Amino acid sequence: MAGIFDSIPIITVILFGIGLVGVMIYERARTRQSQEPEPTS
C-alpha cells in the first residue's frame, strides 16, 4: 500500500505532462482550422 503513495508524485507529473501536450495539440488544431487571423483587441 505504501508503494502506491510513493508513486503518486510521479503519476501526477505524468498526467500533468499529458494534459499539457493535449492542450497544445488542441490549440494548434483549432488555430489551423481558422484560417483568418482573429483580432486581439
Model confidence over 28-38: pLDDT tens digits?
988 877 655 65
Q: What is the DSSP letter of 36?
A: S
Global pTM reads 0.58
* The predicted structure's pLDDT at residue 19: 97
C-alpha cell of 37? 487571423
Between the CA of residue 37 and those of 16, 27, 31, 32, what are the distances in Å? 30, 14, 9, 10
Model confidence over 1-41: pLDDT tens digits?
667 788 999 999 999 999 999 999 999 988 877 655 656 65
* The predicted structure's pLDDT at residue 15: 97
Residue ranges covered by each domain of the chain = 2-29
